[in-house]
A and B are shown apart, each in its own frame.
Chain A
Amino acid sequence: MEVDRADGRNPNQLRPLACSCSILHRAHGSASWSQGFRFIQTSHFYHFNLFVFTSKCYFCYWVGSGDTKVLAAVYGPKAGTKKNENPEKASIEVIWKPRTGQIGKPEKEYEIILKRTLQSICILTINPNTTTSVIIQVVHDDGALLPCAINAACAALVDAGIPMKHLAVAICCCSAESGYCILDPTKLEEQKMKGFAYLVFPNSILSVLPEGSSLVQGEPMEHGIITSVTHGAMSVDDYFHCLERGRAASAKLSDFLRRSLQSKLPGDLSKAE
């Protein structure tokens, strides 16, 4: 089914991703994750007709498609605070900082979803009685904000060296009236669609085990769902359709996450050779 998107992407196409780790000096781990570019240098454009050239400036604006950018900082493991102290498990606290103003109900909800997601991927028993703070600063919001924050938080946790069972990749899927579904919507698309789902999957892993031995009830591990949040009305079929598309895209996302984590680590860390 052909769908027109304002920025010329096809329904399964994600916005360009960018991730950089260790960008904050004081934090124990930090990462920025962005989906989409607000400005693209003229030398890099590929959808020529979609660009409006600004006068006297060598940048051009990608009409309709903004970027969603989130900064995540991790502090910890540090001594447990009174509030979240648990003698048997490490606790994770998430602080959401919106771009402007105070945090409201939706941000509180994001905090809780993010906290539960991170709790399920971290190994909490290794450093009991400690707190790890994750601070999420929204830099720019143009749709799919929570998935972007989950990806950023995950990269920041890895950067801080917090023990984790596996990584998580998050994606937003929208479903429209006519039954089609699009991935990684912009804010405009999110508002137009009748429903959308935030899906979080485990990353695809490298394994030395023989093929098929890591299947859980006949399915690979990365097909499991860590978190699923839906907004709006969505039929069961639409939901499964979104899930299928999301899974396909999550493989690409986890490849990207692995590559950006690998590039962060210097190759000459060891001088053994």
Chain B
Amino acid sequence: MEAKPSTANLVDKIVVPGDVVLDLSSMTNQTIKLGGGLRQECDSVSVIKAGKLRFSKPNKYWVESSQKRYVPCVEDTVLGIVVDCKADNFFVDIRGPTIAFLPVLAFEGGTRRNIPKFEIGSLLYVRVVKANPGMNPELSCTDASGKAAEFGLLKDGYMFETSTGLSRMLLSSPTCPVLEELGKQLSFEIAVGLNGRVWVNAESPSTVVLVSNAIMNSESLSAVQQKIMVDKLLQRIK
């Protein structure tokens, strides 16, 4: 069944809390998936966060918005900072409402005998495995099959904080213009967490500074503007 024309009108439009975007009574025998920012109320779906309503074929709806605050969600990859080490858990700050727990055994081949040692303040690339309301979120340093898969400690480099919208833009595919332009001329390592933390590492400190500045500047720029901005920055170091 095709969506009603009035529904199509709200897709890709900016919606504010309270707007009713879907009428479920006219969409029976259809499965839809609701993402962030939407809520079902009886026979209608309404918006709870301001942003752009997005629709992806075949059946996904969500509201895209950008915040300074991160709310943990299962399967998100985030950058966390170790704030405390206890016998069973590392306490990790992931910019969420509460501290997250990283069990000491949640590493590839983790046993009681080889517990990794992290100093307080070290930066980790981790995955959120549990995010239930009323509980502290739980993290893991392995992928779903138990492999280390790039997760773990990030040594050296520079970490800065951005909005969740910018970090999502950096992770989008195809690669966002700012990273693509930078990658053509410079070599650097980057780790982006969905919680708005970005870690950059490169051979020389000047590259790190340049890449971080370019990313921080790209927040509100269009694709073409991002390219121009990166070109200007690159010319300056030549």
Contact = CB atoms under 8 A, between A and B. Distances in A.
Interface of A: 27-29, 76-79, 87, 123, 125-130, 158-161, 163-167, 202-203, 205-210, 214, 257-258, 261-262, 265-266, 268-272
B58 interface: no
Interface string B14-25: 111111111100
Is chain A's interface secondary structure helix, strand, loop, or mixed overall?
A: loop
A77 B71 contact: yes
A266 B220 contact: yes
Interface in B131-154: 133-134
B64 A270 contact: yes
7 contacts: A127-B71, A127-B97, A158-B49, A205-B20, A268-B221, A270-B54, A271-B223
Interface in B191-231: 220-223
Instruction: Pick from A27, A130, A161, A166 the residue with the most CB of B within 10 Å.
Output: A161
A208 B48 contact: no
A258 B54 CA distance: 18
Contacts of A126: 48, 133
Nearest to B4: A208
B10 A206 contact: yes
A202 B18 contact: yes
B60 interface: no
A129 to B, nearest CB: 6
A165 B169 contact: no
Instruction: Pick from A87, A125, A126 the residue with the most CB of B within 10 Å.
Output: A126
A207 B4 CA distance: 12
A160 B69 contact: yes
B217 to A, nearest CB: 14
Given A123-B39, A130-B97, A160 B71 contact: no
Contacts of B10: 206, 208
A87 B169 CA distance: 34
For chain B, which range describes its interface: under 10, 10 to 19, 20 to 34, or 35 or more residues? 35 or more
A182 to B, nearest CB: 29
B17 A265 contact: no
B25 to A, nearest CB: 9
B52 A206 contact: no
B89 interface: no
B69 A158 contact: no
Given A164-B18, A167-B16, A208-B7, A269 B67 contact: no
Nearest to B224: A268
B4 A271 contact: no
Given A77-B97, A164-B48, 7 more contacts: A76-B69, A127-B71, A202-B18, A207-B44, A208-B10, A269-B165, A272-B54
A161 to B, nearest CB: 4
B172 A165 contact: no
A124 to B, nearest CB: 11
A208 B67 contact: no
**What are the 9 closest A-B residue pairs judged by CB atoms, nearest first?**
A166-B18, A161-B67, A164-B17, A207-B20, A163-B48, A77-B97, A205-B18, A28-B69, A206-B19
B98 interface: yes
Contact of A87 (B44, B98, B134): B134
A209 B23 CA distance: 6
Contact of B133 (A127, A165, A205, A210): A127
Contact of A206 (B20, B44, B177): B20
